[in-house]
Amino acid sequence: MPVGSEPTSVATVIGDLEAAQARGASQDELLEAAVRAIEASEPRYDWVGIYLLDGDMLTLHNYVGRPTEHSRIPVGVGVCGSAVAERRDINVPDVRELENYLACSVETRAELVVLISDPVSGRIHGQIDLDSDRPGAFTPEDERELRRVADWLGRLF
Ligand code: SME
């Protein structure tokens, strides 16, 4: 890192996770710590959660933000299920333009889903899901940084 530059917020998230892992945190605790740290890292992130994939169903592991009724989402349904079905991260600038969308909150405008996969086999284990009340909230840099966190989490399975 160049002298005088600040660590990125995601570098801080990964640093927190590595410290928790070194203290012996379990996989569940690390998934919870990741959600808390990501949400705290950036005010644009109004809702952050991790869904885990169990067969053809995504199950909400933990989240920070407004309560959601979507604790189980079938593959192919909504933004979350589409990301798994299409095996790709999805950045939606404005969810009002989507038909295949499950509303978590009427305030939500933007959504970013980043897949958590096994680094060797590529098997999908789940995803980080972020919502923002601001249209177009998620930048290419957010995508890159969250991908680094997801890659770190993908090694835990
Ligand atoms: N909006 C998601 C559902 C999850 S909530 O945002 C927490 C979707 O369309 O899959």
User: What is the CATH classification number for the domain harbouring 99?
Assistant: 3.30.450.40
* Parent domain of 130: 44-154
| Alpha-helical segments (H) within the chain | 9-22, 27-41, 78-85, 140-154
Measured from the Cβ of residue 105, the count of other Cβ atoms closer than 10 Å reads 14
Contact 53, 84 (CB under 8 A): yes
Residue 18 lies in a domain: no
| Mean pLDDT for the stretch of residues 7-16 | 80
Cβ of residue 157 lying under 6 Å from some atom of ligand 1: no
Say which DSSP state 71 is in: S
Residue 141 lies in a domain: yes
Residue 66 lies in a domain: yes
How does the average pLDDT of the chain come out, rounded? 94
Say which DSSP state 96 is in: G
Mind listing the pLDDT tens digit for each residue in 84-125? 999 999 999 999 999 999 998 999 999 999 999 999 999 999
Residue 90 lies in a domain: yes
Mind listing the pLDDT tens digit for each residue in 67-94? 999 999 999 999 999 999 999 999 999 9
Tokens matching residue 119: 């680094």
Contact 132, 92 (CB under 8 A): no
Q: What pTM, to 2 d.p., does this model score?
A: 0.94
Q: Return the pLDDT at 10.
A: 78
Cβ of residue 110 lying under 6 Å from some atom of ligand 1: no
Q: Return the pLDDT at 5.
A: 45
Residue 106 lies in a domain: yes
Residue 49 lies in a domain: yes
How remote is the CA of residue 78 from the centroid of ligand 1, in Å? Answer: 6
Residue 30 lies in a domain: no
Domains contained in the chain, number: 1
Cβ of residue 82 lying under 6 Å from some atom of ligand 1: no
How remote is the CA of residue 120 from the centroid of ligand 1, in Å? Answer: 28
Contact 113, 129 (CB under 8 A): yes
Measured from the Cβ of residue 106, the count of other Cβ atoms closer than 10 Å reads 7
Residue 124 DSSP SS3:
strand
